[in-house]
Chain A
Amino acid sequence: MAYEDRLFAALADPTRRAIFEHIAGRRQSVAELARTMPVSQPAISQHLKVLKEARLVRHVPSGARRIYSIDPEGLGPLRAWLDRFWSEQLAAFKGVVETADES
């Protein structure tokens, strides 16, 4: 598969996309992901393998654990993530500012 196809295929799966978003929010280990997501640890590891091949995530060893984070070489997806991130933040801001006290 071409890199682009691999990238799209990696993100087309909703569980994988959710895992990527979790990692984009905070770098973490497989165990940490498994604690906050309704997905088994082996399944998460499989998804991470696909995400890693698509250059969406990378890992660094930290003692016996691997800590996963966004791969900056895949800046396109990072930018897309930031794009959505700021949309969500501004929507949250709008919700608060419009209900803020007039005082």
Chain B
Amino acid sequence: MHTIDPAPVRKSVTVRAPAERAFDVFVNGMGSWWIKGHSLTESGQKTVVVEAVAGGRWYEIGNAGEEREWGHVIACDRPNRILFAWQLNADFDFDPAFRTEVEVLFEAKGANETTVVLEHRQLANYGAKAEELRGVLDSENGWGGLLASYVAKVA
């Protein structure tokens, strides 16, 4: 067993929308699409707020009005790019001393088509001496790949 530097998680999706709208829905409308179950609030997620300027806050508002920080905006260049500091540690607690980066790029492919590329990086900051688990780290689909390796192992 030896220590590895975990590769960033990199995802992309192509949407039928101009870059400006893709950017605005992603950033200003994050509360409209963020999966509600991924929430830190006690009362359930009402919405998510991104202050789209460098140094802006990134936080969640619960149904009871409580706010939970997730991180902040490091850089913002509408409609091309936004860079977040994701500051939830492995306990999913906001920790101002902890930081990973989430970069989102909006690449116009046509008048009504945009590719959104998301990279979650600096995962080594989670501080783990990660085990080398090829089946996990090479996985493109999370558990799918994990279980495929499991099946391959036990076959």
- Which A residues are in CB contact (< 8 Å) with B154? 8
- Which B residues are in CB contact (< 8 Å) with A95? 33
- Which B residues are in CB contact (< 8 Å) with A84? 141-143
Number of A-B contacts (CB under 8 A): 145
- A94 and B15 contacting across the interface, CB-CB below 8 Å: yes
- A87 and B17 contacting across the interface, CB-CB below 8 Å: no
Tell me, yes or no, whether B49 is within 8 Å of chain A by CB.
Answer: no
What residue of chain B has the Cβ atom nearest to residue A81's Cβ?
Answer: B142
Task: Give residues 69-103 of A contacting B (CB, 8 Å).
Answer: 69-98, 100
- A90 and B90 contacting across the interface, CB-CB below 8 Å: no
Contact with A along B6-17 (1 / 0, CB 8 A): 110101110111
Tell me, yes or no, whether A27 is within 8 Å of chain B by CB.
Answer: yes
What residue of chain A has the Cβ atom nearest to residue B127's Cβ?
Answer: A72
- Which B residues are in CB contact (< 8 Å) with A92? 33-35
Do most interface residues of chain A lie in helix, strand or loop, or is the interface mixed? helix
Chain A CB count within 10 A is highest, among B9, B17, B32, for B9
What residue of chain B has the Cβ atom nearest to residue A86's Cβ?
Answer: B11
- Which B residues are in CB contact (< 8 Å) with A89? 33-35, 38
Task: Give residues 58-112 of B contacting A (CB, 8 Å).
Answer: 89-93
Bound-state CA distance A5–B153 (Å) is 9
Q: Out of B126, B131, B143, which one reaches A80, CB within 8 Å?
A: B143
Count how many chain A residues have C-beta atoms less than 8 Å from C-beta atoms of the other chain: 43
What residue of chain A has the Cβ atom nearest to residue B30's Cβ?
Answer: A93
Q: Given the known A-B contacts A82-B9, A90-B116, are A100 and B143 also in contact in the complex, defined by CB atoms under 8 Å?
A: no
- B91 and A8 contacting across the interface, CB-CB below 8 Å: no
- B145 and A80 contacting across the interface, CB-CB below 8 Å: yes
- A71 and B120 contacting across the interface, CB-CB below 8 Å: no
Chain A CB count within 10 A is highest, among B13, B21, B145, for B13
Q: What is the interface of chain B, defined by CB distance below 8 A to chain A?
A: 1, 6-7, 9, 11-13, 15-17, 21-22, 25-26, 29, 32-35, 37-40, 89-93, 116, 118, 120, 123, 126-133, 135-137, 139-143, 145-147, 149-150, 153-154
Sample of 14 further A-B pairs with CB below 8 A, known A17-B143, A88-B35, A92-B33? A8-B154, A27-B92, A70-B91, A70-B92, A78-B90, A79-B130, A80-B143, A83-B140, A83-B141, A84-B142, A85-B38, A96-B32, A97-B33, A100-B21
Q: What is the interface of chain A, defined by CB distance below 8 A to chain B?
A: 3-5, 7-9, 11-12, 17, 25-27, 69-98, 100
